[in-house]
Amino acid sequence: MQAEAAEKELSAKEEEEKARKALLAMKRRQVLMDQMARMQKTFIKNNPEFFEETAVETPPAPPPPPAPKIERVPSVSEMESER
């Protein structure tokens, strides 16, 4: 009985630690994403000539390929009625 209680307590502690680490990782990712967004905006602001040229030189995208034709498969009852 004591072993089960100790195991449950250990499992609960492991879950708490896992949740804590996940929260810290999420916060760290958000900080890095915010930093990257600021860096991108600064780069675009300081180097507009790169983006003006890109907009002029970019060819239009080709049209998407046609969707494949889907053939209808007869149901079992239709196949049986044909016999």
User: Which tops the pLDDT comparison, 10 or 53?
Assistant: 10
- Map out the domains of the chain as residue ranges: 2-60
Confidence grade of residue 83 (pLDDT, cut at 50, 70, 90)? low
pLDDT at 53: 60
Report CA 73 to chain centroid distance, whole Å.
35
Report CA 55 to chain centroid distance, whole Å.
27
> How does pLDDT run across 22-73, given as a tens digit for each residue?
999 999 999 999 999 999 999 999 988 887 765 556 678 888 888 888 888 7
pLDDT at 42: 95
pLDDT at 16: 92
Report CA 25 to chain centroid distance, whole Å.
16
In whole angstroms, give the CA distance from residue 16 to residue 32: 24
DSSP letter, residue 40: H
In whole angstroms, give the CA distance from residue 45 to residue 42: 5
